[in-house]
Amino acid sequence: MVKTLDAIFDGEVLRPKEPVALEPNIRVRVTIEAPDTSSARARSFFGTARSLNLEGPSDWSARFEDYLYGRETGASECG
């Protein structure tokens, strides 16, 4: 039987993330493939938002509901 599964290493033991249909104390062969952490770069919310290159009106943040729901407001409606 060959099965690929995800596991968590807690510093001492590999713990499968799903049940494994094996008898207790049976010998198995394990091949470990760790994720490549050098290419994975954590990105902040603002970094992600900037990367989207979104375009919109200059008052977008103040009137987002008007734009979202298609409401027309005149310039005299300030509040």
Residue at 14 is within a domain? yes
Residue at 66 is within a domain? no
Residue at 65 is within a domain? no
Output the CA–CA distances (angstroms, integers) from residue 75 to 56, 61, 64, in the order listed: 17, 16, 15
pLDDT score recorded for residue 29: 93
Residue at 79 is within a domain? no
Q: Which of 48, 12, 5, 59 is nearest to 28 (CA)?
A: 5
Residue at 41 is within a domain? no
Domain count, the chain: 1
- pTM of full prediction above 0.85: no
Q: Write the DSSP assignment of 5-64 as a string of letters.
A: --EEE-SS-EEESS-----TT-----------TTT-----HHHHHHHTT----TTTTTSH
The model's pLDDT over 35-55, given as tens digits with 9 standing for 90+, comes to: 776 655 667 888 888 888 888
Residue at 11 is within a domain? yes
Question: Range of 4's domain?
Answer: 1-34
Residue at 10 is within a domain? yes
pLDDT score recorded for residue 47: 80
